Amino acid sequence: RRVFLCFLADGAMWGAKGEEKAGGACEEWSYQLGNKDTLSLKAPKKSPLALRMVVLTMTMICGVFICSMCMKQLGSDSWSRIVKIQVAEQSCNKSLIPPSEVQFVHYPQPLNYSRKECTCTPVRFFAIISSQRSGSGWFETLLNSHINVSSNGEIFSKKERRINISSIIKTMDMVYNLDWNSSASKNECTAAAGFKWMLNQ
């Protein structure tokens, strides 16, 4: 059976069986054969709000997935390098040194060990230039008796250390950077470092 429900212009509703009257909008309803009390309506149109929610949910899931993959590729080491905070090295206070001596003091940074609390202890460089049998050995012994002075002896006694200018500079750099290891080395708190250079060398 076919039933039409029509709505008049003033909002009143009236029904008709098998016919449609002018003056109002009508919708078709149908009885089910087995049960006249139950009406089956046509499927309503899908709401655009529900569709938007589905798209938004899928976008969020894809974003989380992409972020997780990027974090895995970075790895913990790379991430730690990104957020690593570098502390600038604190410069040493030179105000206690007389202005006339500032150019003669140095702050070596040895490669073999750390100077620890003596990092800002200024170091002066020296060289004992002497000839044979002139008392240079005795003078060097006096220097090394001081707790903060290191005189490393005849470092150029071996020919390979003075064969050319490159080897000479390399040897002197090791001594003046406090990387030269000898019985006279005071290491951390050295205040003066040098060597003995004989004229025949």
The answer to whether the beta carbons of residues 124 and 108 sit under 8 Å apart is: no
> DSSP character for 61?
H
Residue 6: inside a domain, yes or no?
A: no
Across the range 130-137, mean pLDDT stands at: 91
Do 160 and 122 share a domain, yes or no? yes
Do 66 and 109 share a domain, yes or no? no
The answer to whether the beta carbons of residues 186 and 142 sit under 8 Å apart is: no
For residue 33, name the pLDDT band (cuts at 50, 70, 90).
very low
CB neighbourhood size of 40 (10 A)? 9
Residue 85: inside a domain, yes or no?
A: yes
* Cβ burial, residue 178 (10 Å; 0-12/13-18/19+): buried
Do 169 and 118 share a domain, yes or no? yes
Residue 176: inside a domain, yes or no?
A: yes
Could you tell me what percent of the chain has a pLDDT over 90? Answer: 32
Do 130 and 82 share a domain, yes or no? no
Joined together, the tokens standing for residue 94 give 């030179």
**Closest C-alpha among 147, 157, 156, 153 to residue 182:** 153
Joined together, the tokens standing for residue 154 give 């005849």
Rounded CA gap, 149 and 126, in Å? 10
For residue 125, name the pLDDT band (cuts at 50, 70, 90).
very high
Question: Residue 191 pLDDT more than 70?
Answer: yes
The answer to whether the beta carbons of residues 12 and 18 sit under 8 Å apart is: no
Tell me if residue 115 falls in helix, strand or coil: coil
For residue 12, name the pLDDT band (cuts at 50, 70, 90).
very low
Domain that holds residue 161: 94-198
Pairwise pLDDT comparison (69 vs 84), residue with the higher score: 69
Mean pLDDT of the chain: 77
Do 99 and 193 share a domain, yes or no? yes
Across the range 167-187, mean pLDDT stands at: 89
The answer to whether the beta carbons of residues 197 and 154 sit under 8 Å apart is: yes
Give pTM, 2 decimals: 0.51
Instruction: Tally the domains of the chain.
Output: 2
Question: Residue 64 pLDDT more than 60?
Answer: yes
Residues in Cβ contact with 118 at an 8 Å cutoff, skipping those fewer than 6 apart: 188, 189, 190
Tell me if residue 30 falls in helix, strand or coil: strand
The answer to whether the beta carbons of residues 29 and 18 sit under 8 Å apart is: no
Do 129 and 86 share a domain, yes or no? no
Do 151 and 122 share a domain, yes or no? yes
3-state helix, strand, coil in the chain (%, to 5): 35, 20, 45
